[in-house]
Structure 1
Amino acid sequence: MDLSKLGRTEQVISAVGLLLFVFSFLPWYSISYLGLSWSADAWSDPSGFLDWFPVLLLLAYGVILALPAFGVALDIPTLAGAVNRAFIGLALSAFAVLLFAIQGLTYPSADGYGGPSWAYFVALVLALAAGAQSYLGFTRQGGSFAQVSEGFKARTQGAAPAQQVPAQQQYEQQPYQQPEEQGQQPPAPPV
């Protein structure tokens, strides 16, 4: 394994993905009442899709980014530039923070005795750290949100339609060629 093949942003996102996966098995929700306590991880009830999906997203992206360190070459055009990798990391981290925040605000409170536990907050901080490092990597590589906006605008508007040349003009633009062999007919004009 050669970590020098990875930039700082790739290293941080890969580490965050792995740490989020580990912390997803620790208490994300806990309730305690009359000396009894119960906790749940990111994979069990009342946690749900909003907890485990961002964990899997960041883990998968972290693994993809870490593959060059293990000697696996990636031939994915979208991930070719460091700016693109950092922007995707920023978008995924922001999405994870949003989903974690929604889930944390919607955990059942059980009359004020339950709520998010310590591993949930660690995961939230890890996702924020991945987002901060992705933003720093994005701007350090020369990326700007104006460029991203222009890129999306160009893709949504598409290329300008090619100008159609009327068939008569097309035929007139082609030089007339004499048939080389006896029996060949000259090309017929388009209709």
Structure 2
Amino acid sequence: MDLNKLTTSDKVIAGSAIALLIFSFLPWFKVDFGPFGGDVTVNGWEWFFWGILPVILGIVMLAQVAVSAFSPDTKLPDLPVTWGQVHLGAGALAAILVVLKLLIGQTGWDRAFGLFLAAIAAVGLAVGGFLKFQEEKSGTSTAPPSAF
């Protein structure tokens, strides 16, 4: 597996997708019972629309990047839009959903660190999608040159 085949956008998408998957298991919201002891936390897997769907979008983006980079003989389906547009839309949707959950919150619950990290990773997916779209638009969707 030659990682030099990956473009900058591919690396951003891959890193962000893996990070979002990991951060979805961390606490997104918590309730502290103070002097009565204990607290309760929930992670991103508690909500399909706000947590699971962005993770699925990230995994799909990662899968397309991996297939294109490491299995160039594989024929991906022809779409009415480019893969850059698909990545841009999927990354933007993932970012919007997680950031909205961050802004809206959960009634009676405090935001926990996992939600902030997941929001950063989801924005990373949007940035990676934008970079991939720009690469296709400019026609420079090749891997960067090797140092040697």
Q: CA deviation at 1:19?
A: 1.6
Structure 2, unaligned stretches of length 5 or more?
Answer: 139-148
8 A contact 1:25–1:43 mirrored in 2: yes
Alignment partner of 1:108: what SS?
coil
Which protein is richer in helix relative to its size? 2
Evaluate the alpha carbon distance shift between residue 140 and residue 60 of structure 1 in structure 2; reply closer, same or farther with a 3 A threshold: closer
Alignment partner of 2:27: what SS?
coil
The match for 2:16 is 16
Percent identity over paired residues: 26
Q: Identify which of 98, 123, 133 aligns with 1:138.
A: 133
Which letter maps to 2:110? G
Q: Identify which of 90, 93, 96 aligns with 1:95.
A: 93
Superposed structure 1 runs of 4+ greater than 4 Å apart: none
Evaluate the alpha carbon distance shift between residue 77 and residue 7 of structure 1 in structure 2; reply closer, same or farther with a 3 A threshold: farther
Q: CA deviation at 1:55?
A: 0.7
Q: Identify which of 36, 39, 42 aligns with 1:37.
A: 39
Structure 1, unaligned stretches of length 5 or more?
Answer: 144-191
Which structure exhibits the higher relative contact order, with contacts defined as CA atoms closer than 8 Å and separated by 6 or more residues?
2
Deviation sequence 1:92-119 (CA, Å, 0-9, x none): 1110122113323443332xxx232111
Evaluate the alpha carbon distance shift between residue 69 and residue 132 of structure 1 in structure 2; reply closer, same or farther with a 3 A threshold: closer
TM-score, length-scaled by structure 1: 0.60
Deviation sequence 1:16-73 (CA, Å, 0-9, x none): 11221111111111122314321111113xx343211111111122122112444363
8 A contact 1:57–1:92 mirrored in 2: yes
Matched, 1:125 2:120: yes
8 A contact 1:5–1:68 mirrored in 2: no
Deviation sequence 1:114-164 (CA, Å, 0-9, x none): 232111111111121222233234234436xxxxxxxxxxxxxxxxxxxxx
- Report the RMSD for the aligned CA atoms in angstroms: 2.4
8 A contact 1:9–1:86 mirrored in 2: no
8 A contact 1:93–1:127 mirrored in 2: yes
Which letter maps to 2:118? A
The match for 2:107 is 109
Which letter maps to 2:97? L
